[in-house]
Structure 1
Amino acid sequence: MNKRLKGKTILITGASGGLGERIAYFSAAEGAEVILAARSDSRLKTVQKKITSEFGAACRTLVLDVSRTEEIEAAFKTAGPVDILVNNAGFGIFETAIEASLEDMKSMFEVNVFGLIACTKMALPHMIAQNSGHIINIASQAGKISTPKSGLYAATKHAVLGFSNSLRMELADTGVNVTTVNPGPIKTDFFKTADQNGDYEESIGKWMLTPDKVAQKVVSAMMTNKREINLPSWMNGVSKLYQLFPSIVEKVGRGAFYKK
Structure 2
Amino acid sequence: MSVLKGKRVLITGGASGIGKIMGRLVLERGAELIIWDINTIKIEEVQNEFSELGKTHGYTVDVSNPEQVKNSAAIVKSDIGIVDILINNAGIVVGKYFHEHSLQDITKTMDINSNAPMIITQQFLPDMLNQNSGYICNIASSAGLISNPKMSVYAASKWAVIGWSDSLRLEMKQLKKNIGVTTVTPYYINTGMFDGVKSIIPILNPEKVAKKIIRAIERNRIFLSMPWSVHFVRFSQGILPIWFFDWFVGRVMGIYKTMEHFTGRK
TM-score by length of 1: 0.91
**Are 2:97 and 1:100 equivalent residues in the alignment?**
no
Tell whether 2:180 aligns with 1:177: yes
In structure 2, the partner of 1:209 is 204
Shift of 1:42: 1.2
Task: Give me the whole-angstrom Cα distance separating, in 2, the residues matched to 1:244 and 1:184.
Answer: 22
What stretches of structure 1 of length at least 5 have no aligned partner? 193-197
Cα shift readout 1:32-66 (whole Å, capped 9, x = no counterpart): 0000110111101111111123x2x1110011010
Bigger mean CA deviation after superposition, 247-256 or 75-84: 247-256
Query: Are 1:32 and 2:28 an aligned pair?
Result: no
* Alpha-carbon contact 1:52-1:58 (below 8 Å) kept: yes
- TM (norm. structure 2) is 0.89
Q: 1:3 to 1:150 in 2, by over 3 A?
A: closer
Residue aligning to 2:76:
79
Does 2:185 correspond to 1:188?
no
Shift of the 139–148 alpha-carbon distance from structure 1 to 2, 3 Å rule, reads same
- State the partner residue of 1:134: 135
In structure 1, C-alpha distance between the alignment counterparts of 2:199 and 2:258, rounded to whole Å: 8
How far, CA to CA, are the matches of 1:233 and 1:246 in structure 2? 22
What per-residue deviation string (whole Å, max 9, x for no partner) do you get for residues 148-167 of structure 1? 11111100000001111211
Q: What is the correspondence of 1:10-21 to structure 2 with a 5 Å cutoff?
A: 10-21=9-20
Residue 130 of structure 2 aligns with an amino acid whose one-letter code is A
Provide closer, same or farther for how the CA distance between residues 28 and 205 of structure 1 changes in structure 2, counting only shifts above 3 A.
farther
The secondary structure found in structure 1 opposite 2:57 is strand
Q: CA deviation at 1:240?
A: 3.4
For residues 201 and 239 of structure 2, the distance between their equivalents in structure 1, rounded to whole angstroms, comes to 28
Contact 1:11 1:82 in 2 (8 A): yes
Contact in 2 for aligned 1:177/1:223 (Cα 8 Å): no
Partner of 1:145: 146
The CA distance in 2 between the partners of 1:46 and 1:205, in whole Å, is: 35
Task: Please state if 1:251 is matched with 2:244.
Answer: no
Pair 1:91-2:85 in alignment: no
**1:112-151 CA distances to partner (integer Å, 9 max, x unpaired)?**
1111111000110111111110010000000011111111
What letter is aligned with 2:183?
Answer: T
Percent identity, please: 34
In the TM superposition, what whole-angstrom CA distance separates every residue of 1:69-115 from its partner, at most 9, and x where no partner exists? 11111111111210000000011112112222221011100101111
Q: What value does the CA root-mean-square deviation take over the aligned residues?
A: 1.6
Quote the residue 1:226 is aligned against: 221
Number of aligned residue pairs: 249
AA in 1 matched with 2:43: L
The CA distance in 1 between the partners of 2:34 and 2:220, in whole Å, is: 22
Runs of 5+ in structure 2 lacking a partner?
Answer: 260-266
- Aligned partner of 1:121: which letter? Q
Q: What amino acid is the match of 1:128? A: L
